[in-house]
Structure 1
Amino acid sequence: MSESRQTLEQRRNRNYEETHRQLVERAVGLIGRDGVGSLTVATLARDARMNRSTVYYHFDSREALLSAAKAWFGAKLSEMMVAPGDSQTWLEKAVQFSLGNPELMHEWVMDLVNHTPIQNNFPRWDQLVELASRSPQVARQEDGKGGPTASGALDAELWATVLLASVVMAPRLFRVAVRPDQEIELVSRHYAQLLRRMLQSPQRNAR
């Protein structure tokens, strides 16, 4: 392939990826504004002011579009939950993100509980488990050689599961059924403080 042709191909790929990203983010916005039931390729095309065939080039069905939106949610959430820095900051951002996207969060959780491997929905699961393994509740179980025991490894997975559920589901339950009068920002702050105490983790260094 000539250099000019290769450059053109790279530009086309970048344009495709950028358009794809924009369409997914617009789909997320539509879900947040009008609900999951309103999401179709046609409504997305109208919202993006694009030809419907262009949108179909990226998503051949409503199911593919919704799947991309759920993948976006899972990727964003996983990035927040393993971000470097003070745990109060990333926990608060993760809780607020989940509360700010209730319908998409519900669809994402339903995928999780329908026998889907968690790595498919939460790309940084292994990193979250590794983070959980550093908590005092898990780290104290060592094999005498400086490594975790088998039960400690299991506990790290359990702890990561509890942390994920606490970020995604508990704040939603609290705000809807317990204190619907509280603002998202306040609920997020309070849950982040609680989860930080549970995690008992010092500030983490950037990876």
Structure 2
Amino acid sequence: MVSSRNKGFEATHQVIVETAVSLISGKGVDALSMAAISRAAGVNRTTLYYHFAHREELIEAVKDWSAQQLTRGFSDEMPREERIAHITRFVLENSEVAKLFIDDFLTPGDIRTRYPRWDALVGGIGCDARAAGSDNFDAEIYSLIMLTAAFIAPRVFVGSVRPDMPVDEVVDRFSKEHLRVLKRDGLLDG
């Protein structure tokens, strides 16, 4: 049984993380400071430092929160079109937070340390390709192409191609195109 004190700790922790997400999404990671979080979350600095020793620890918590949100987009519990839409919407609505993931993509080192589901993603795509009869399919490269398209393309589209387009329409267009590519490549029935 969780005590009410622990519930209060968890609730405060969640408020701090979600406030950091909101600040990063609105103003970018450079605007994130412990003082700004304290003010925006309505918690005193002592409480904030009790939860997070420093700014970098809070940024890691934001990445963890984001990874949890994005994991839903890789879950087989949702139909593929909903998963694609979920990821596209997340990237558009949290573009500065998604930028943290893009920065991680560009950081040297083993991708598995930053994205624990990498091997499962590559394995699943490779399995789908083999089932479709593709013997010379490079699942690692294909996975990387699809991930970078999912994280970067919606931001470029809204920022530089169609900044006037409503988010729902962008999500719909990206979902349809991702599905078309998967069908074209034999990774989706249809």
TM superposition score normalised by structure 2: 0.84
Contact 1:41 1:59 in 2 (8 A): no
Q: Secondary structure at the match of 1:165?
A: helix
- Number of matched pairs: 185
Q: Which amino acid aligns with 1:121?
A: R
Corresponding residue for 2:176? 193
Give the share of equivalent positions with the same residue, in percent.
Answer: 32
Q: Which of residues 144, 150, 165 in structure 1 aligns to 2:148? A: 165
Would you say 1:72 and 2:72 are equivalent positions?
no
Corresponding residue for 1:146? none
Q: Which of the two has higher C-alpha Rg?
A: 1
Contact 2:19 2:37 in 1 (8 A): yes
Report the Cα distance in structure 1 between the residues aligned to 2:6 and 2:110, rounded to whole angstroms: 30
Contact 2:111 2:118 in 1 (8 A): yes
Q: Deviation digits for residues 27-84 of structure 1, max 9, x if unmatched?
A: 1011122332221112111112112111111111112112221232233223313342
Q: Which of residues 99, 102, 113 in structure 2 aligns to 1:106? A: 99
Corresponding residue for 1:60? 53
Q: Secondary structure at the match of 2:165?
A: coil
What does 1:44-193 correspond to in 2, within 5 Å?
Answer: 44-136=37-129, 139-141=132-134, 152=137, 155-193=138-176
Report the Cα distance in structure 1 between the residues aligned to 2:56 and 2:118, rounded to whole angstroms: 24
Gaps of 5+ in 1: 1-6, 143-150
Q: Deviation digits for residues 124-145 of structure 1, max 9, x if unmatched?
A: 3233223312434775246xxx
More relative contact order, 1 or 2 (CA 8 Å, 6+ apart): 1
TM superposition score normalised by structure 1: 0.78
Cα RMSD (Å) of the superposition?
2.4
Which deviates the most, 10-19 or 95-104? Answer: 10-19
Report the Cα distance in structure 1 between the residues aligned to 2:168 and 2:114, rounded to whole angstroms: 25
